[in-house]
């Protein structure tokens, strides 16, 4: 199961690789690795900022600030991290588009990413609203969903390379 | 101290070989190590940001730090154990790669930074808890920490090449 098998024709992925950015990175010695390093740093900031608020929602995190206050402080960083991670992810995808089109974990990662974003920007925002009592079930459930969703995106991301090595091609 | 023969011996022990050559074990440990970044560096970042006055500046520095600390510790335990296993899986590669040696050095410096913070800086925070701008030593610890962990992450990734 992959994007190419299910949704998009090979020509789309070939077009992606032929874009200026895709081509540049594909034939550059270090650019992909540099992008990937920045991607990892973005992930660290993303997980770190959502984790602290989710722990608060679970009732085990920071006690000084209310959930809303904590979120007010950290959400900007989550958005920066998201932007950064996506901004580094897109060029990486473009440079390897043909292989990504056939990569199962990549398809899952994109689906999981959409879920994670949906959860983050809908029910999680409701759970963080001022006036929500501490430690209520809704908050705990949302926190678990949030943590699991981002973790699965990261796991699927890791599986991309694993899938490629399993099928005989070396990643990057 | 001539460690190379020991490292080469370690490399050939059955456990090392198993960890390294089995598809699942190495990938699993490495995945834990990478994801653990969020729990370790991802949480300590907030301590650093408070120290340099970048976030949560309206709140008591000591409190912010005290409450993040347990989670950062959990995260670093995960990183330490998974890291040790990764080292044990590829001792010769780590020993001979410049990026790993640099990473190890940076880790030691980061450790000293934490020690220094706890011994000399932490107690001074109490008088300045409500300040946005903390004493210069506290800020220095924060900047150093951010720089060191950034360097450590970069070295870790570049172990694949250097």
Could you list the pLDDT tens digit for every one of the 172 residues in chain A? 888 878 899 999 999 999 999 999 999 999 999 999 999 999 999 999 999 999 999 989 888 888 999 999 999 999 999 999 999 999 999 999 999 999 999 999 999 999 999 999 999 999 998 877 777 899 999 999 999 999 999 999 999 988 887 776 665 4
Give the count of beta carbons closer than 10 Å to the beta carbon of residue B49. Answer: 19
Q: What is the DSSP string of B124-138?
A: GGGGGTT-SS--HHH
- Least CB–CB distance from A43: residue in B27, B38, B45: B38
Q: What is the DSSP string of A3-26?
A: HHHHT--HHHHHHHHHSHHHHHHH
The closest CB to that of B31, out of A61, A158, A166, belongs to A158
Contacts A–B by Cβ distance under 8 A: 81
Q: Is the Cβ pair A47, B39 closer than 8 Å?
A: yes
One-character DSSP codes across A60-106: SS-SSS-HHHHHHHHHHHHHHHHHHHHHHHHHHHHHTHHHHHT-HHH
Residue in chain B lying closest to A49 (CA): B42
Minimal-distance CA residue of chain A relative to B29: A158
**How far is residue A86's CA from residue A109's CA, in Å, rounded to a whole number?**
12
Distance CA B58, CA B129 (A): 9
| Host H or E run for residue A166 | helix A137-166
* Cα–Cα distance for residue pair A89/A91, rounded to 1 Å: 6
Q: Does A55 touch chain B (CB under 8 A)?
A: yes
Q: Rounded to whole angstroms, how far apart are CA atoms B77 and A134? A: 29
Q: Are A70 and A120 in contact (CB under 8 A)?
A: no
Q: Using CA coordinates, name the residue in chain A closest to B71.
A: A61
Task: From A104, A101, A106, A149, select the one nearest A124 (Cα to Cα).
Answer: A149
Determine the residue of chain A that is closest to B43 in CA distance. A48
pTM of the model: 0.93
Q: Are B16 and B85 in contact (CB under 8 A)?
A: no
Give, for A50, the enclosing helix (H) or strand (E). Answer: helix A31-58
Candidate from B27, B60, B153 with C-beta closest to A64: B60
> Is the CB of residue A154 less than 8 Å away from at least one CB of chain B?
yes
Number of domains observed in the structure of chain B = 1
CB of A94 less than 8 A from some CB of B: no
The ipTM value here is: 0.92
B154 interaction partners in chain A (CB closer than 8 Å)? 37
* Contact call for A64 and B161, based on CB within 8 A: no
Low-confidence ranges of chain B (pLDDT < 70): 1
User: What is the residue range of B67's domain?
Assistant: 4-158
pLDDT in tens, B95-109: 999 999 999 999 999
- B35 to chain A: closest CA residue: A154
Using a CB-CB cut-off of 8 Å, the residues of chain B touching A166 are 23
Q: According to the model, what pLDDT value does residue A171 have?
A: 59
Asked if residues A51 and B41 have their Cβ atoms less than 8 Å apart, the reply is: no
A47, A49, A64 ranked by CB distance to B67: nearest:
A64
Q: Other C-beta atoms within 10 Å of A67: how many?
A: 24
Cα–chain center distance at A36: 13
- In angstroms, how far is CA A125 from the centroid of its own chain? 18
């Amino acid at each position: 199961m992959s994007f190419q098998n299910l949704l998009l024709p090979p020509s789309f992925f070939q077009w992606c690789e032929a874009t200026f950015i895709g081509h540049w990175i594909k034939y550059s010695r270090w650019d992909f690795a540099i992008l990937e390093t920045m991607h990892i740093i973005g992930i660290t900031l993303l997980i770190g900022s959502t984790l602290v608020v989710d722990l608060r929602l679970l009732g085990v995190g920071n006690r000084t600030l209310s959930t809303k206050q904590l979120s007010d402080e950290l959400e900007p960083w989550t958005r920066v991290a998201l932007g950064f991670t996506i901004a580094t992810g897109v060029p990486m995808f473009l440079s390897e588009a043909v292989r990504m089109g056939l990569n199962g974990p990549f398809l899952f990662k994109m689906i999981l990413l959409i879920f994670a974003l949906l959860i983050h920007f809908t029910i999680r925002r409701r759970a963080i609203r001022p006036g929500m009592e501490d430690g209520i079930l809704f908050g705990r459930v949302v926190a678990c969903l949030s943590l699991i969703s981002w973790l699965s995106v990261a796991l699927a991301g890791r599986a991309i390379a694993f899938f490629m090595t399993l099928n005989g091609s070396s990643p990057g | 101290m001539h460690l190379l023969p020991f490292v080469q011996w370690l490399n050939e022990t059955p456990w090392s070989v198993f960890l390294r050559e089995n598809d699942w074990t190495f990938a699993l440990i490495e995945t834990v190590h990478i994801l653990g970044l969020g729990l370790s560096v991802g949480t300590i970042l907030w301590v650093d940001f408070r120290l340099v006055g970048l976030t949560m500046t309206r709140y008591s520095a000591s409190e912010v730090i005290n409450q993040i600390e347990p989670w950062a510790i959990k995260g670093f335990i995960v990183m330490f154990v998974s890291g040790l296993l990764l080292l044990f899986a590829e001792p010769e590669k780590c020993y001979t790669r410049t990026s790993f040696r640099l990473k190890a050095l940076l880790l030691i410096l980061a450790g000293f930074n934490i020690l220094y913070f706890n011994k000399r800086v932490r107690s001074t925070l109490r008088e300045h808890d409500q300040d946005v701008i903390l004493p210069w030593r506290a800020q220095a610890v924060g900047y150093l920490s951010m720089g060191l962990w950034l360097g450590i992450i970069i070295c870790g990734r570049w172990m694949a090449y250097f």
